[in-house]
Structure 1
Amino acid sequence: MAEYLLIFRGGDAAREEEQQSPERWQAHMEKWMQWMGALTEQGKFVGAQPLKVAGRVVTGTGKVVTDGPFVEGKEMVGGYLICKAESLEEAVEISKGCPVLEHDGIVEVREINSLAH
């Protein structure tokens, strides 16, 4: 069984709900907990973390540091989850349960390259 990184992008509507209605935000977060709980019960959940919006970007050989990242909302990485799956296709099926998709978000699914010799 391989590990896959699910990268969550966009989903700005969920952040707007947080500002407008604490109850709706709580309901949205409950969907995340249920999804991750089901993955845990199946032995497929490895870990997950949300990311703060603010950060820094280091670029080029000069290692220039700037504030950022400043990208369109749909491109902003909001968090990630690592799961176990038998194949890329299974990991994609797992990603279809992600609540960010209910808010026009994007889930990028990537296999983690094993460094085994």
Structure 2
Amino acid sequence: MNQVNEFVFLFRQPALNQNPEKQEEIQKKWMDWIGGIAAQGKIASNGLHLTPEGSVLKTGGVVTDGPFVEIREILGGFIVIKADSMDEAITLAHGCPAIDEGGSVEIRSAFA
């Protein structure tokens, strides 16, 4: 019997302003893709959506505010999935709408 592990998918996307119709289309792609993973019983946590604004605390107590114009991608959110291996996690990441929009999915093993 295989041991099931948890992996975090971190979604990095270009910082784009899109019209409401395009946003709705992209949202449907996300729902369909995550729904497909959920239908396989592979979602451990729906994670969270993140706003593009935030703050960064740096060495020396320096705080900078977002949005972060010096970077081209924003961290848009994450989910936690269940998979037998990193290879299976990578397979589940295929089809992620972030990739279609020029972004990426960072896949990391998770542990408590």
Name the structure 2 match of 1:104: 102
Aligned residue in 2 for 1:54: 53
Residues 10 and 106 of structure 1 are in contact (CA less than 8 Å); yes or no, is this contact kept in structure 2? yes
Give aligned pairs, total.
107
Structure 2: gaps (5+ residues) = none
RMSD of Structure 2 on Structure 1 (CA) = 1.7
The structure with the greater share of residues assigned to helix is 1
Identity over the aligned pairs, expressed in percent? 36
Deviations 1:43-77 (A, max 9, x none): 111213221011111122x3332213624223x21
Say if 2:12 is the partner of 1:9: yes
For residues 28 and 68 of structure 1, what CA distance do their matches in structure 2 show?
A: 24
User: What's 1:86 paired with?
Assistant: 84
Aligned-pair distance for 1:30? 0.7
Q: Is the 8 A contact 1:55 1:67 kept in 2?
A: yes
| Structure 1 unaligned regions, length at least 5 | none
Contact 1:11 1:101 in 2 (8 A): no
Structure in which a larger fraction of residues adopt strand? 2
TM-score normalised by the chain length of structure 2: 0.84
